[in-house]
Structure 1
Amino acid sequence: MKILIKALAKSKGTQWQVRLDQDAITFRSEAEARAFADTLQNRIQAPHRFPQGQQRATG
């Protein structure tokens, strides 16, 4: 998943956008945007386990 952070120029100040592939989420500050992106990246990289009945067969 590609995660991008960019500033959006607005007449009432700068907002920040985090783009996840084709989806976008807007934040009021760069710090909020970066915190969201960091949390998302950590969750993506965390080990995941499938429930017993849904484990993938290997081999």
Structure 2
Amino acid sequence: MKILVKELTRPHGNQWQVRLDQHVVTFRSESEARAFVSTLQARLQAPHVFPDRQQRATG
């Protein structure tokens, strides 16, 4: 997943945009945007346990 953080200049002040491939989330500050990215990256890199095929078939 490609993650991009960029500043947006708006008439009522700047905002920060986090783009996740085709999805966009807007934040009021750079620190909010970077905190979101940090949390997202930690969750993506966390170990994930997938159920055993047999458990899915019987459960």
Q: TM-score, normalised by structure 2?
A: 0.86
* Structure 2 unaligned residues grouped into runs of 5+: none
Give the structure with the higher percent strand. 1
The percent identity for this pair of structures is 67
- CA distance in structure 1 between the partners assigned to 2:17 and 2:2 by the alignment: 13
- 5+ residue gaps, structure 1, are none
Greater C-alpha radius of gyration: 2
Q: What's the secondary structure of 2:17's corresponding residue?
A: strand
- Alpha-carbon offset, residue 54 of structure 1: 7.1
Segments of 4+ moved more than 4 angstroms = none
Q: Which amino acid aligns with 1:11?
A: P
Q: 1:41 to 1:54 in 2, by over 3 A?
A: farther
Please tell me the root mean square deviation across aligned C-alpha atoms, in Å: 1.7
Determine the C-alpha separation between the residues in 2 that align with 1:36 and 1:43: 11
TM-score, length-normalised on structure 1? 0.86
